[in-house]
Amino acid sequence: MSIRNSGDNPGITRRSMLARTGMVAAAVAAAPVIGAFPTSTAAAAGTWRVPGEETPHECTWMAWPSSTTIWSTDLAKIQADIAKLAKEVAKYEPVMMLADGSTAASKARTMCGSTVTVVSSIPVSDCWMRDTGPLFTVDGTGGLSSFGLNFNAWGENATSFYGIPASAYNKDRVVAGKIATYIDVPFAKASVVGEGGGIEYDGDGTLMATESCWINSNRNPGKSRSQIEAELLARFGATKMIWLPGVKGYDVTDGHIDGTARYIKPGVVMVQLGGAAREDVWNRNADAIRNVLANATDAKGRRLQVLTIQGPDTLPRISRGKWADFLSSYMNWTVTNGAIITTQFGDTARDAAAKSAIAAAYGRPVVQLNLDALYGNGGGGAHCVTMQEPKV
């Protein structure tokens, strides 16, 4: 990538940005709400769009966990998994790792190695870059812009679920804009509150999201589904939303879509079904999501092709009493320029089947890592801790 001196890591530079233009203003009209989980359409949202994750990346952004207030005695294990993942992603594209100050940066550089660029000048609270970082939009002519979703610690669920003080996430509430400033890209704040892990986008006009995350008083009190939809469509440069059932109040995210269903490319989605390692509430919801998607069309009028895989039946490295809190999802993969990086859980047959299915769907190699600490103690996965910056 074309780069200039960052001042954060000796010998490491960051890329010089092209001239940027601002976000194109777009007004969208929401369709009426009909039924429990219907699809709806809206007017065109302008030339800017968030591209699909399968398109080429400039780099991947990550964040180094260093807060004992958040992680307590689990911190070292979480850091080890973040370092393992960062080094793997760096085999396929540049990784920009934010670290909270010089001490955290030194630890990150030691554990991640020289292939990962560590930036110490942007403060961070934690590692969930998918939910805290900016979403990037492109205009097809070399323009890059960005927006943030006003992260509020998952509707302050971090406090209600785990007793973590709300102030522990103060740096992550503003990190999206700081990243945009660092790389000299225009930035805007959405008028809704949410997280990147709570929405999937195909880059071709269609979004899908669970109602449990967005139409929720802990994030968007007083806002209707139509209002939330209109704003998301405008920000993503999309014209159609597929609303999906979700699970509210059962985990800290209120049922992020990226643990259950993902876009492979426009017109093609994958859903993880079943698996005895996952509690029935999630398996029932996955069935409901599959059923909605199987009957949905996208912004281009295509009937969606719905691929499915099965979740693991066992987590042999994890005690049975901890399965309920473990994100036993192959779906929470991260897409890189050269490979799809996901997890393996030790269920040999299901791990192999998932790897084969994901590789066939993408036409790319699949790397499976043991990230038990992140998926177990963290309750999130490879997608949750990465955010791609598209190549323009």
Residues with a catalytic annotation lie at 384
Instruction: Quote the DSSP letter at residue 266.
Output: T
Distance between CA 44 and CA 27 in Å, rounded? 8
Distance between CA 146 and CA 93 in Å, rounded? 20
Beta bridge partners of 119: 98
Q: What is the token pair recorded at 134?
A: 């900016």
Q: What is the token pair recorded at 241?
A: 């939303």
Distance between CA 155 and CA 390 in Å, rounded? 28
- Nearest alpha carbon to residue 55 among 390, 392, 366: 390
- Nearest alpha carbon to residue 335 among 236, 282, 273, 258: 258
Q: How many residues does the chain have?
A: 392
Distance between CA 233 and CA 231 in Å, rounded? 5
| Cβ atoms of residues 158 and 169 within 8 Å | yes
Sheet holding 240-244, edge to edge: 39-41, 240-244, 206-210, 199-201
Pairing mode, strands 340-343 and 334-335: antiparallel
Distance between CA 380 and CA 390 in Å, rounded? 23
Instruction: Residue 345: count other Cβ atoms within 10 Å of its Cβ.
Output: 28
